[in-house]
Structure 1
Amino acid sequence: MVTFKRLLLGRPLKSTELGEQKLNKKKALAILSSDALSSVAYGPEQILLVLITVGTAAFWYSLPIAAGVLILLLALILSYRQIIFAYPQGGGAYVVSKTNLGTYAGLVSGGSLLVDYILTVAVSVSAGTDAITSAFPALHEHTVAISIAFVVFITILNLRGVTESASILAYPVYLFVLALFIMIGVGLYNAVTGGVHGTVHVPLSTPMAGISLFLLLRAFASGSSALTGVEAISNAIPNFKAPAPNNASKTLIAMGILLAILFAGIVLLAYSYGIVPKAEETVVSQIAEMTFGRSFMYYFIQGTTALILILAANTGYSAFPLLAVNLAKDKFIPRMFTVRGDRLGYSNGIISLGILSILLIVAFKGQTEQLIPLYAVGVFIPFTLAQTGMMLKWLREKPEGWLPKLVINTIGAVICLVVTLMFFVTKFAQVWPVLVFLPCIVLLFHRIKKHYVAVGDQLRLTTCEPNVPIEGNVIVLPVSGITHVVEHSVDYAKSLKPDQIIAVYIPFERDEEAAFEKKWNQWRPDVRLVTLHSPYRSIIHPLSKFIDTVQRKANEAHYQVTVIIPQFIPKKGWHHLLHNQTSLMIRAYLLYRKDVIVTTVPYHLKK
């Protein structure tokens, strides 16, 4: 098993090697921007799908709507750049909201983002799998299995370490960016030189009946789904090489520039080429075909698009564990999320994300496209809270140059709030679950925190009840026969020099009882034996009642009751399947008994 683990994940890394696992800007841009960059494959199309409800003549509105999305992108980039320097420990919207708006706002942000990263993995992998099954229809019935295989692959890659996953995943991301740059460059050249074979949409500013502000806001909200993933870098600052805030800031700006160019380029080409959304073909596919025909470049673009849709899941693997660490440090989720694995990654967070994503894929049978609105609104709630939190920070602290920062965050907060409300108004049937699971998640966070606080209060020496002095010890030793295992346990019990040792034998038949008593008295007459006949063939029940009796008397004399459980350990692991695990059941039951100490005495078999 250890050999297989080493083969799968690589050799363990020393804690001193943590610095070597940090990301440089090029690798960080690839793995932390894949979600945001991949969204250009469907963001522009979402705008057109809303506008087509009133006719293709309304498509010229896609240009000012895209401009609005770019303004929001600029506000988010500038805001999250400020967050990076203000909160270099990472945590992004969770830390900003908790610090400036209070615990509840922080938990809403944190809960939204945790769920959103699970959706990121499920939606991205399912979308990439759809692209593959579209090219190879024979694989369509295996959609769920293929999606699960991709999740397992990306999970293992991340368990091997951040730098190793980044080294592998960087190539497809940069190939996708290169492919779209070439497509946009050639497409715009064709548009300018008149080499476009499609029908150009109606000119700008053409009056259009049926267009309303509500429709435009709805299209804007749909197009804003292209901005999911922008917050990932601010959550993952600890993954960057020193100076982490500076490198994270530069990576964020680079991501914003790339996202803006790709998004604007695709919207502009869709308008110039007269592209109309089709159920059977994406907008990017139509643009690529009209630009290059069904040539190598077309398939190159489609292939890299499918790859980045799958690899966009890696953004979740980069940000989810670090957000979980911040929540766990504040005692809102289990502390196991703060533990680093053999390869210095937060392996519990990585594994949990993989399992939850697989469950989501199985539950929706790999058809997770209906989750995209829920996925988008799950991002814009933290966006809104983070922007509002930064506004309050500048108003409260008023550092040098705070006014421009306040303006940036105010604009971002207003736009994000509008987008969030538009999702609830226009897509309520798809996003209403957020109104159910967010309160449940916040309640769960508080229950976990309450538990940790209670544990701390009880363990703290200054607040604990004074211990009752132990004046003696009574050992109860369940036995099933006269063997080397029992002999070893009796010798161990005697070595503790207790006040009394009581061996307990539980026969199912009366004749067994008398026969065993006779053998025991001949073998160890110095150790008291108690037999408890069990006509219903239960071991736990009579043993428990006997321990209750002993404990009651022991408490009166301030004696401690210790139960010693003999257990033999087979040489090979699979041999456990061949034996009754009675000792394990007794131990599991007694561990929840108050004031009873349980000790296992193992006896290792040699063959």
Structure 2
Amino acid sequence: MLSSFKRLLIGRPLKSTALGEQKLNIFKALAILSSDALSSVAYGTEQILIVLSTISVIAFWYSVPIAAGVLFLLAALIVSYRQIIYSYPHGGGAYIVSKENLGEKAGLIAGGSLLVDYILTVAVSISAGTAAITSAIPTLHQHTVLIACILVVFITILNLRGLTESATILAYPVYLFVVAIFLLIGVGVYKISTGNVSPTVHHAPIGAPVQGITLFLLLRAFASGCSALTGVEAISNAIPNFKDPAPKNAAKTLILMGSLLALLFAGITFLAYYYGIAPSRDETVVSLIAKETFGRNYLYFFIQGTTAVILVLAANTGYSAFPLLAFSLAKDKYMPRMFTIRGDRLGYSNGIVSLGAASILLIIASQGKTEHLIPLYAVGVFIPFTLSQTGMIVKWFRERPAGWLAKLSANLVGALITLTVLLIFFITKFGQVWFVVIFLPLIVLLFLRINKHYEAVGEQLRIYPEHPAIPIEGNVIIVPVAGITKVVENSINYAKSLTDQIFAVYVSFDREDEKRFEEKWEKWQPDVRLVTLQSHYRSVLQPLSKFIDTVEHKASENNYQVTVLIPQFITKKSWHNILHNQSSLLIRAYLIFKKKVIVATLPYHLKK
């Protein structure tokens, strides 16, 4: 039944040979990998205005030069990540660049930051999408967290169905959002140019003096606006998902994404400034702009609907990049090996499920409020931004290929800007991002401990010809028995087929029971040695464990291997198990972790 339900949710398994069919063309890749970056226009401008609103509405004109600064940084990042795509065509992005050029610790910091950032991508995108929904339907405000969690589950299932299937479904809403925002910007600019703007709309002219404005506050607003740049790095991490030639297609997708993001962000910021939009707790800036442009008619709800959908689907960028980054870290032995395994639909399903679960926990912890998450979100991405730019500087300086000075200069500009933004974040928003200073070193420490474990396991499992394993000369089988039954008979007969060194062990709780059992055994299996053990405290494990120790010690002297063969009957129906004690499972669980013996279970299937 569970198998059928699984097939219903995620579809039939795909053959490994179908992996090539799961690659993305530019049209689908732009939708699935750029949704995070494109959706940030829905809250990037809003984050700038929230900071400026602490002074007054007159300060809103500063959003225009601040947006220009954000776009300049975007251009620097696009140029830099384009170089990364061609230099590291197998993906990995900031993690691989930092690890190869700056060392292991830098790579792990970049990788850890991005993993956390992708979890935040899902949580922020879903929370922002939920906010767009509740802005249009205020009665749903009280159910924000529940709606967000349901949406995460939906996106998780969609990604478990496979990359191309999710991309096909997501492409249309993403492009519909782009059309909707261009429509909003186009109509807004047209109304402004023809003088058809509502007379109640007013804004301070650019350059108007503002009392109380400080450099600190402007830097804080700039840092907040840089949240619009999250997701830019996702394409460089996901190059293996592109159809051949993968690097060329990835680079084209990156340029298209950067161009669309710049136009949408600039347009929304201009309209917000011109309309004099002030951020509201219960309504998003895009909602206010759409209401001012169209009124609350069908076009307004079209804008809100597509915005909500793109914000929800922006989480898919995290689902595309997180599993690939987790795969890279797991391949290098810094994360559990389970992240290298492809699921039924050829996606890294363990990474997908882990991302979904972590995102739900984060949404619940933050109560679905994006303002609590965005500062951490932005810091998480600007750390790998800075490390990847610096890593590329080291690469160009070390290798010095043709045109390396121009490439180095581009990365140097990018590194200086991203480092500056990162410092601004820590200086102006330390109260909101201090957690990164503690959490990130813990993640790196965890990576190193995992790596140390895998190295230790590898060393112990590796075969050294000069130190061959001690040969096994024979086998001793111990069969714990609880009575004279067909289950025990089946196990004894199997043991006889392997060796004549057999001990049947019976643990008795009183002398009379012990005596009766010995008499019955002598008549039933006189050729198999029975060992009876007394247990004054009604424990089976303790006396059995001591006996196994004794046998194992003597067997090791003769290079004999001890096997504990546990008889177990399997009920016809699973619910029947609750009617029987599970002593065989307890014995197995104890011995397999405590003793240097082989633990085997011989099942006997009941038919009724």
TM range (shorter): over 0.9
Who is 2:334 aligned against? Answer: 332
CA distance in 2 between counterparts of 1:214 and 1:463 reads 66
The answer to whether 1:474 aligns with 2:489 is no
Q: Deviations over 1:331-356 (max 9, x none)?
A: 00011111111110011111111111
Partner residue of 1:248?
Answer: 250
Structure 2 Cα separation of the partners of residues 578 and 356 of structure 1:
37
Shift of 1:146: 2.2
Note the 1:437-516 alignment, pairs <5 A. 437-462=439-464, 465-498=467-500, 500-516=501-517
Q: Distance in 2 between matches of 1:309 and 1:416?
A: 25
Alignment partner of 1:592: what SS?
Answer: helix
Q: Deviations over 1:348-369 (max 9, x none)?
A: 1111111111222233343453
In the aligned structure 2, how far is the partner of 1:308 from the partner of 1:536?
65
Aligned to 1:394: 396
Shift of the 274–366 alpha-carbon distance from structure 1 to 2, 3 Å rule, reads closer
Distance 1:139 1:194 in 2: 37
Q: CA deviation at 1:39?
A: 0.8
Distance (whole Å) between structure 2 residues aligned to residue 368 and residue 598 of structure 1: 52
> Retained in 2: the 8 A contact 1:127–1:369?
no
- Cα deviation for residue 134 of structure 1 reads 4.0
Output aligned runs, 1:350-365, within 5 Å: 350-365=352-367
* 1:17-416 superposed matches below 5 A: 17-197=18-198, 198-416=200-418
1:572 aligns with 2:573: yes
Counterpart among 420, 423, 446 of residue 422 in structure 2: 420
Structure 2 CA distance for aligned equivalents of residues 270 and 550 of structure 1: 82
Name the CA distance, whole Å, in 1 between partners of 2:144 and 2:120.
17
Q: Size of the alignment, in residue pairs? A: 606
Residue type at the aligned position of 2:404: W
What is the CA–CA distance in structure 2 between the aligned matches of 1:579 and 1:207, rounded to whole Å?
A: 82
Deviations 1:504-543 (A, max 9, x none): 1112233222221111111101111111122222111111
* TM-score, L = length of structure 2: 0.97
- 1:138 Cα offset (Å): 4.2
CA distance in 2, matches of 1:90, 1:135: 40
| Matched letter for residue 563 of structure 2 | T
SS state at 2:289 partner: helix
Q: 1:287 to 1:247 in 2, by over 3 A?
A: same
> Per-residue displacement from partner, 1:439-488 (whole Å, max 9, x unpaired)?
11101100110111111111111288542232222111101111111111
CA deviation map 1:190-245 (0-9, x unaligned): 11111122434222233334333322221111100011111111111111111111
Distance 1:506 1:127 in 2: 63
Q: Is the 8 A contact 2:136 2:304 kept in 1?
A: no
1:572 positional shift: 2.6
Paired position in structure 1 for 2:598: 597
Please state whether the residue corresponding to 2:569 is helix, strand or coil.
strand
Say if 1:539 and 1:464 are closer, same or farther in 2 by CA, change over 3 A. farther
Shift of 1:594: 4.4
Matches of 1:52 and 1:383, distance apart in 2 = 29
Aligned AA (2:307): T
Task: Output the CA distance in 2 between the equivalents of 1:144 and 1:483.
Answer: 56
TM-superposed deviation, 1:172 = 1.5
Q: 1:287 and 1:151, CA in 2 relative to 1: closer, same or farther beyond 3 A? A: same
- Note the alpha carbon deviations across 1:243-282, whole angstroms, 9 max, x for none: 1111111111111111000000011111221222222322
Deviation at 1:402, TM superposition (A): 1.5
What secondary structure, in the 3-state scheme, does the structure 2 residue paired with 1:541 have? helix
Q: Equivalent residue of 2:41, what SS?
A: helix
Between the aligned partners of 2:510 and 2:192, the Cα distance in structure 1 is 94
- State the secondary structure of the residue aligned to 1:54: coil
CA distance in 2, matches of 1:142, 1:56: 32
- Cα offset for 1:29? 0.8
SS for the counterpart of 1:535 is: coil
Q: Tell me if structure 1 keeps the 8 A contact 2:479–2:505.
A: yes
- The one-letter amino acid paired with 1:490 is I
The percent of aligned pairs where both chains have the same amino acid is: 72
Q: Measure, in 2, the Cα distance between the counterparts of 1:45 and 1:133.
A: 17
439-448 or 125-134: bigger deviation? 125-134
Two-structure CA RMSD over aligned residues (Å): 1.6
Q: Deviations over 1:267-310 (max 9, x none)?
A: 11112212222223221111111111111110111111111111
| More deviation, 536-545/46-55 | 46-55
Tell me, in whole angstroms, the C-alpha distance in 2 between the residues paired with 1:279 and 1:342. Answer: 43
Q: Deviations over 1:383-430 (max 9, x none)?
A: 010111111111111111122211211111111111111111111111
Which ranges of structure 1 fall in alignment gaps of 5 or more residues? none
**Range with greater deviation from structure 2 (161-170 or 564-573):** 564-573
Displacement after TM superposition at 1:186 (Å): 0.7
Task: Check whether the contact 2:571–2:605 (CA below 8 A) recurs between aligned residues.
Answer: yes
- CA deviation after TM superposition for structure 1 residue 162, in Å: 0.4
Give the match for residue 542 of structure 1: 543
Letter of the 1:50 partner, please give it: V
How far 1:313 moved relative to its partner? 1.0
TM, length-normalised to structure 1: 0.97
- Structure 2: which 5+ residue stretches go unaligned? none
CA distance, structure 1, for counterparts of residue 270 and residue 130 of structure 2 = 28
